[in-house]
Structure 1
Amino acid sequence: MAAEVKLHRIVFRLSALVLALLVAASEPKDSGRTGPDVADDITRQQPGDLGNNNLGLQDVVFIIQSQRYSYHAKKAHQLRENIRQQAQDVQQDPPTVVVLHEEWRGRGAWTIFPFLPKISQSFGQKAAWVFFCEDDTAVKLLPLLDVLRKYDATKELFLGRALVDQEATIIHHFAFHEKPGSFSYPDFSAGWALSAPLLNRLAKRWSEESHQGEFTIDPKHEIAMYIYDSGNGVKLTDVPQFCAGPQIEDETSKCVTTFPSELPQCGDPVPQEKVFFAVKTCEKYHKDRVPVVQHTWGKQARHITYYSDKEDSTIPTVTTGVPNTERGHCGKAYAIMKQFHTYENLKKMDWLIIADDDTLLSVPRLLRVLSCYDPSDPIFLGERYGYGLTRGEDSGYAYITGGGGMVLSRAGVRTLMLSSCGCPADDSPDDMILGMCSEMTGVQVVHSQLFHQARPADYSTGYLSHQPPVSFHKHWNNDPYKVYNKYLLTDGEKYNHTEL
């Protein structure tokens, strides 16, 4: 009973958050733009002793924002070895390179916040800079060192490739709603850096504060907001040499970091016969949302079923026996998983994709991405959010947000179905309950930035520039056909735009 009460509180808090997001965040005290085309005179300093030629490889610590799953862990190890090899090639001692998920094993390591004190304790007095990057980031070691020498490491500095929002967006709590482009935050894919003085102050501040934050949605924006501290802290300094996405030829030579803009290459795409698509819908959306799926990505899905609260032979739909709910859809999601787990005609499938009726997908890209993962491993894949992770090292849990599409391996579904963890109510949030149950049962929550919970307009154009996206979500205030054609249509598809 106590567990059910706790879960109902989660549902209540989620609803409260949605209401809170409708209230605009406070404006910054200094709303000067710090995007890629604007110099930040406040944070760009004259070189000091550590900001010039005295800075060496031993003065920089690299932290790879890695993931525990084997595919991502292997890439992190390869990047670490590449950095070390670059140092050896010039006959220098290699810098310290930390694989995040191995050094700090807490649930919330990927949010960075709870581990600021440990990072400061380990490196704050030994290094001038801590440089963070992702497992796919490519680093040119000595050119990166030359770039860092241009900045005074004795000052509080926050460096990165600046991203700015196109418009006020729900994923950033509508921050700076009157002037969204006035605030910049780092593109993690290009790498970002904290000077030791800033790291140490942030760690001290974090240790002295109590943390009741509930949701982690976009860590790169949330970290920038924390560092900015309502105008009392430090703004991001844009570093043009930190790169991600396509570059024109004369710019590429200036880049000290790069990030691939192609899909991962892990072999042949997963065969269509191995993937089952389940679309959650209800009667009131049979005539507007469902046709969008049928005329776009649904045509590319060989095995697809529409699960509704009412049978409709014109689609056709299948009922789960679970009535439609206005909030969460946990009961419906678990009914779908149960069918995938038990129905003989579905047992040959390796992957279950649960999508909303207003989710837009690229099926060919998804099949390519899935080739990097093993369906015999218990996996929950998509865009990762978090609940309660910043309260402590082992608090809360991560989950795959439902709107961008939730991908479950055969082993993941089996593990969840054989456990005692399930829905406290039919209208509990399915993605959050699946995340909580994954944490309890050992199913690995794996993040991919190619999945998106929101619309393209809710993401920075700079962020989208280095992605072949797999999904977007919501029809609100945009034409889903145009979104599909612009962002998700692949060369192998032919589709003519149809007005809604």
Structure 2
Amino acid sequence: MQLKFYLLSGLFLLSFLGGNSEILVLISCPTAQPLAEQNCRALRENLRQQQLAAAFPQDYVIKVHIMYELFNYWTLLDALPHLQGQTRLLNAHTEWIIWCQHNTHVSSLRVLLEQLQQQNSQELAYYGHALYDAEATIVHHFAHYKNPTWFPYPMLSAGIIFTGPLLRSLAELVAINASKRHSEFAIDAAHELARYLFDNLSPNASGKLKAPYNSVNGKGGAEDGTDGQMLQHKIILKSAAYICPRANVSPSLSSPSSASLSPKTTDVPCLLHAKPETSPTVLPADLVANGRKVVETASCLHTTSSHMYFAIKTCAKFHKERIPIIERTWAPDARQRKYYSDVADASIPTESTGIPNVETGHCAKTLAILQLSLKDISEQMKWAERQGQGRQSIRWLVVVDDDTLLSVPRLSALLSCYNHSAHIYLGERYGYRLYASDGFNYLTGGAGIVFSLPLARLIVKRCSCPTIAAPDDMVLGYCLHALGVPALHSPAFHQARPQDYSPTLLQLIPPISFHKLEHTQPVHTYRHWLGGAYDNTSLGLTPGAAARATTSNYDLGLLKMHVASGFEAASKHLDL
């Protein structure tokens, strides 16, 4: 059999001539994040080496493609029209699509294809490692709120496998009805994919769900997972034993030439699994030796808390309730911190922003905090220089809420490999109306947002608020989108509480932040999930300090109006 190898931009093909079946291995890769891009290229090269070294089970054309997550491609749904349309990677001959992330590992592509041969490629189905919610959560739009524990959604970093018919049907549906979403907000691509499939396609021959299927007896239903007959008319993730959250691979399978699995084998090894992210608490080996900095790499710069300025947004009614929690947990690691409030309180101390407190949004207050923080940073640097201490090197401005818990050491290590002299906007990314021309990505304020100082100065100069109570994080995201600054996502930041996320995901990527204190034990969260060791007991917690928190219900009317009116010219101030 003749073998041909093709290397194209972001894509290589390995063609065993004579076969019409195609396998698409897609690597979804974040942009503007060098370490993730290195992982994507390494995965592609590993797959190429496996294909060159192994004898595959039948005639295949295998496509391996790196898809960069431009704008809205990270949602997965919004990337499908691109794959089927412009690139034509997804076509009538595609039998299987193996969807990987930058931190997915494929231990044996050949054995994986042998496993897929035992499954029906013409079925409308998809396979992965199933995750489940323990309770209804805001990050999943409170889906199946009566009983969310039955609904499976895939662990993206472990990899997902789609049949060709399913992904083609899904791509066609998204292309003709892009706005049919449960919410205008994109948060968790994996859960939103699973819910979209569940609600809009059925496993019949055509795949299209022409009309809602009603429960026969009127009791229960798909909403709470109790109506088995109804669920037969739905597409639900199929859990695959060979797709795992972590490595559990036999050494014999680490080589492409390993023996094939018997179809009757019950102990299936992990053929696809997620690779743990490099622990943010550990710096690269060439940065640290014996506890001391030795040398800095070309791409990473040793960063500590002394290089970060923490601006903490608070208000008078939470001074006694929330600030003691911060002081007892992560504050000792954040020496350069300041509390910005609606009133000045010398006993803490807090600095007044001059902006009255509002119940939601806080846009004007956040912009005032950025201005005051930059002024304070400048004064600190000048003072240090006058004292003969050299120019103090504050590189980053971190803006957080007063109910945000942080791991400062992990954040320091993460920032070591970002260029502080560039326009860096880093945190947890959400999307708003990403299926439409007026959509944009933004970073959630509660998870904490990291700004490089050049970017903070640009924001103060070019961005403004439509109203005092406009949603600050969304306004900043829209403004920076207009200015061409991407929202850089790190899965270590969290807008919600630990119980709102799968423990499997939290164990894979050491968390940097959590938000909201209600129904939590903040000190336990800090110690257990954020690796905290400090406990400043000199500041006592007030009774019920962690029992209350406010819920923001943003009025996006003004924001929509400004989005619809289009962006201002680049030379003008962006009034949002």
**Smaller-chain TM-score bracket:** 0.7 to 0.9
Q: CA deviation at 1:205?
A: 1.8
Report the counterpart of residue 356 of structure 2 in structure 1: 323
Report the counterpart of residue 552 of structure 2 in structure 1: none
Does 2:332 align with 1:332?
no
Instruction: Give the one of 72, 92, 100 matched to 1:125.
Output: 92
Q: CA deviation at 1:146?
A: 3.2
Cα separation, partners in 2 of 1:249 and 1:461, compared to 1, 3 Å: farther
Q: CA deviation at 1:127?
A: 1.8
TM-score, scaled relative to structure 2:
0.71
d(CA) in 1 for partners of 2:33 and 2:270? 33
Instruction: Give the one of 132, 155, 159 matched to 2:127.
Output: 159
Cα separation, partners in 2 of 1:247 and 1:315, compared to 1, 3 Å: farther
Instruction: Give the one of 29, 49, 66 matched to 1:99.
Output: 66
Report the counterpart of residue 219 of structure 1 in structure 2: 189
Q: CA deviation at 1:482?
A: 1.4
Instruction: Give the one of 106, 126, 138 matched to 1:170.
Output: 138
TM-score, scaled relative to structure 1:
0.81
d(CA) in 2 for partners of 1:134 and 1:451? 18
Instruction: Give the one of 198, 205, 224 matched to 2:173.
Output: 205
> Contact 1:131–1:192 (CA<8 Å) still a contact in 2?
yes
What's the secondary structure of 1:322's corresponding residue? coil
Instruction: Give the one of 255, 263, 276 matched to 1:260.
Output: 276
> Contact 1:56–1:145 (CA<8 Å) still a contact in 2?
no
Does 2:111 align with 1:148?
no
Cα separation, partners in 2 of 1:470 and 1:252, compared to 1, 3 Å: farther
Deviation sequence 1:310-346 (CA, Å, 0-9, x none): 1111211111111111101111211122234444235
Q: CA deviation at 1:91?
A: 7.3
Q: Which runs of 5+ in 1 are unaligned?
A: 1-53
Instruction: Give the one of 413, 428, 440 matched to 1:397.
Output: 440
Report the counterpart of residue 373 of structure 1 in structure 2: 418
d(CA) in 1 for partners of 2:74 and 2:379? 38
Does 2:32 align with 1:69?
yes
d(CA) in 1 for partners of 2:405 and 2:496? 10
* Paired residue type of 1:476: E
What's the secondary structure of 1:349's corresponding residue? coil
What's the secondary structure of 2:435's corresponding residue? helix
> Contact 2:277–2:508 (CA<8 Å) still a contact in 1?
yes
Report the counterpart of residue 5 of structure 1 in structure 2: none
Q: CA deviation at 1:85?
A: 2.6
Report the counterpart of residue 459 of structure 1 in structure 2: 501
Deviation sequence 1:77-96 (CA, Å, 0-9, x none): 23222222322233789832
d(CA) in 2 for partners of 1:221 and 1:115? 16
d(CA) in 2 for partners of 1:382 and 1:57? 44
Q: CA deviation at 1:134?
A: 1.5
Deviation sequence 1:60-117 (CA, Å, 0-9, x none): 2122221220413333223222222322233789832222227xx4x21111223323
d(CA) in 1 for partners of 2:334 and 2:424? 21
Instruction: Give the one of 79, 84, 87 matched to 2:51.
Output: 87
Report the counterpart of residue 401 of structure 2 in structure 1: 356
> Contact 2:54–2:110 (CA<8 Å) still a contact in 1?
no
> Contact 1:131–1:191 (CA<8 Å) still a contact in 2?
yes
d(CA) in 1 for partners of 2:248 and 2:350? 46
* Paired residue type of 1:209: N
d(CA) in 2 for partners of 1:320 and 1:291? 21
Deviation sequence 1:287-316 (CA, Å, 0-9, x none): 011110011011111211111011111211
Q: Structure 1 residues 481-490 or 88-97, which shifts more?
A: 88-97
d(CA) in 2 for partners of 1:306 and 1:137? 40
d(CA) in 2 for partners of 1:204 and 1:174? 27
Determine which structure has more spread, i.e. the larger CA radius of gyration.
2
Q: CA deviation at 1:169?
A: 0.9
> Contact 1:111–1:390 (CA<8 Å) still a contact in 2?
no
d(CA) in 1 for partners of 2:143 and 2:440? 25
Aligned CA-pair RMSD: 2.8
Q: CA deviation at 1:494?
A: 4.2
What's the secondary structure of 2:405's corresponding residue? strand
Cα separation, partners in 2 of 1:218 and 1:256, compared to 1, 3 Å: closer
Report the counterpart of residue 112 of structure 1 in structure 2: 76
Report the counterpart of residue 155 of structure 2 in structure 1: 187
> Contact 1:186–1:220 (CA<8 Å) still a contact in 2?
yes
> Contact 1:244–1:260 (CA<8 Å) still a contact in 2?
no
d(CA) in 1 for partners of 2:409 and 2:250? 29
Deviation sequence 1:434-459 (CA, Å, 0-9, x none): 11111111222111111111111111
> Contact 2:305–2:408 (CA<8 Å) still a contact in 1?
no
d(CA) in 1 for partners of 2:481 and 2:451? 14
Report the counterpart of residue 411 of structure 1 in structure 2: 454
* Paired residue type of 2:40: A
Report the counterpart of residue 447 of structure 1 in structure 2: 489
Q: Which has the higher helix share?
A: 1
Deviation sequence 1:138-160 (CA, Å, 0-9, x none): 22233332333332111111111
Cα separation, partners in 2 of 1:212 and 1:301, compared to 1, 3 Å: same
Cα separation, partners in 2 of 1:330 and 1:257, compared to 1, 3 Å: same
d(CA) in 2 for partners of 1:373 and 1:56? 45
> Contact 1:322–1:332 (CA<8 Å) still a contact in 2?
yes
* Paired residue type of 1:399: Y
Report the counterpart of residue 337 of structure 2 in structure 1: 304
Does 2:480 align with 1:438?
yes
> Contact 2:421–2:454 (CA<8 Å) still a contact in 1?
yes
> Contact 2:241–2:268 (CA<8 Å) still a contact in 1?
no
Cα separation, partners in 2 of 1:496 and 1:487, compared to 1, 3 Å: farther
d(CA) in 1 for partners of 2:18 and 2:366? 54
Q: Which runs of 4+ in 1 moved over 6 A?
A: 54-58, 91-94, 248-252, 496-499
What's the secondary structure of 1:404's corresponding residue? coil
Deviation sequence 1:352-384 (CA, Å, 0-9, x none): 111100001111111111112111221211111
> Contact 1:113–1:390 (CA<8 Å) still a contact in 2?
no
Q: Larger RCO: Structure 1 or Structure 2 (Cα < 8 Å, ≥ 6 residues apart)?
A: 1
Cα separation, partners in 2 of 1:311 and 1:340, compared to 1, 3 Å: closer
Q: Which runs of 5+ in 2 are unaligned?
A: 1-16, 200-221, 223-230, 252-266, 289-301, 382-392, 546-576
d(CA) in 1 for partners of 2:138 and 2:408? 26
d(CA) in 2 for partners of 1:456 and 1:249? 33
d(CA) in 2 for partners of 1:405 and 1:212? 30
Q: Structure 1 residues 91-100 or 108-117, which shifts more?
A: 91-100
What's the secondary structure of 1:487's corresponding residue? helix
Does 2:315 align with 1:345?
no
Q: Structure 1 residues 167-176 or 378-387, which shifts more?
A: 167-176
Q: CA deviation at 1:425?
A: 1.7
